[in-house]
Amino acid sequence: MRRSRAVRRRPSAAAIAAACLLALTACADAARPTEEWFPETTGESAAGAGDGKPGAGQGGRTPRALPGGAGGDDGATQGGRAAAPGAYHRWGLDRPLAPPPEPPAARPVRPEPSGLPAVVDRVPTRDKVVFVTIDDGVNKDPALIDMAADLRLPFSMFLADSAVGGGTGEDYGYFAELQRLGNSVHGHTLTHPDLTSLPYAAQRRQICRQQERVADRFGVRPTLFRPPYGEYDAATLRAAASCGVRAVPLWRAEMKAGGLEYREGDRLRPGDIVLAHFRGPGQQGGRTMTDVLAELVREIQRQGYTVARLEDYM
């Protein structure tokens, strides 16, 4: 689980990239090709048909939910599930979540010229959208599956193996249900350490092994990665690059049991990445995960935004 802690001011990605380029020998293994970690599959497995894995071989892109993103009164389906007309009322909303705009033709967040992943907490866009991300994987509330289907709420999951429960198929099965609704799964390390306390080799093991585990469980190679606590250093970015990571999304606001907390300012801005956690009543003052996420959606609507898929922008 994520612990509360002060966020240290970190060097910019450009500064870190420059440091790595000045130390070419130290960065040599960052050039290890993605294919070495995630070899391309062929035949039935490449199409996701022979091994039962949804979307295998898609190179980090989970199949999108149906156009319209948020659905409403038309009873449309998402991931094969029908949402009843007016289902948003069930979650305390007075209106459906507005559909996001069409995603950009070219994703605005790309790896740095050095090959290191881009580090961002806000996506450069003028669209009135924000991005919901959910970390760890401790709580597995079945009601969230219904909520995601009813609201057609897109979000990105960053799972730590130790939080999910040690990597058994049953533990990851819950998140596969959420993936089938069009939501993507990415790595958040094996055991959720502060990576800056570890040497490069240990960081690389934490990142790459969980990226591999996600690819194996969900059939899609993750290209995003989030470091626990938002803490990273130059070694983290080198290790992540060697595991095929193209971007490291942090966050500008965090949804907690008491409401939305901002890292600066007092409101959302276009492209903000919002952090939430898979937590239950025991960690949220008696509030369920769906209680907290419903409040988040209402606040997003109140400020005039909707929710888009992070993977369509990076």
Give the number of domains in the chain: 1
The beta strands (E) that lie in 61-155 are given as 77-78, 81-82, 118-120, 129-136
Nearest to 77 by CA among 175, 149, 2, 177: 149
Q: Is the residue at 123 inside a domain?
A: yes
Q: Are the CB atoms for 249 and 310 separated by under 8 Å?
A: yes
Answer whether residue 189 shows pLDDT above 90. yes
Q: Is 12 helix (H, G, I), strand (E, B) or coil?
A: coil
Calculate what percentage of the chain has a pLDDT beyond 70: 72
- What is the pLDDT, as a whole number, of residue 86? 87
Residue 266 lies in a domain: yes
The reply to whether 114 falls in a domain is yes
* pLDDT value of residue 84: 65
Helix axes 289-302, 142-151, angle to 10 degrees: 20
Question: What tokens does 31 get?
Answer: 């050039």
Question: Is the predicted pLDDT of residue 18 greater than 50, yes or no?
Answer: no
Whether 8 is covered by a domain: the verdict is no
For 225, which DSSP code? Answer: B
Paired sense of beta strands 77-78 and 81-82, if any:
antiparallel
Q: Residue 6 falls within a domain, yes or no? A: no
What's 70's domain CATH number?
3.20.20.370
Residue count of the chain, please give it.
Answer: 314
Task: In whole angstroms, give the CA distance from residue 154 to residue 182.
Answer: 7
Query: Which of 160, 132, 180, 143 lies closest to 301, judged by CA?
Result: 132
Q: Is residue 77 part of a domain?
A: yes
Residue 23, pLDDT score? 37
Q: Are 110 and 246 in contact (CB under 8 A)?
A: yes
Q: Is 74 exposed, middle or buried (0-12, 13-18, 19+ CB in 10 A)?
A: exposed
pLDDT digits (tens, 9 = 90+) for 121-130: 999 999 999 9
Residue ranges making up the domain that contains 171: 13-312
Evaluate whether residue 2 is within a structural domain: no
Which of 276 and 29 is assigned the larger pLDDT?
Answer: 276
Q: Report if residue 7 sits inside a domain.
A: no
Q: Is the pLDDT of residue 70 over 90?
A: no
Residue 67 has pLDDT above 70, yes or no: no
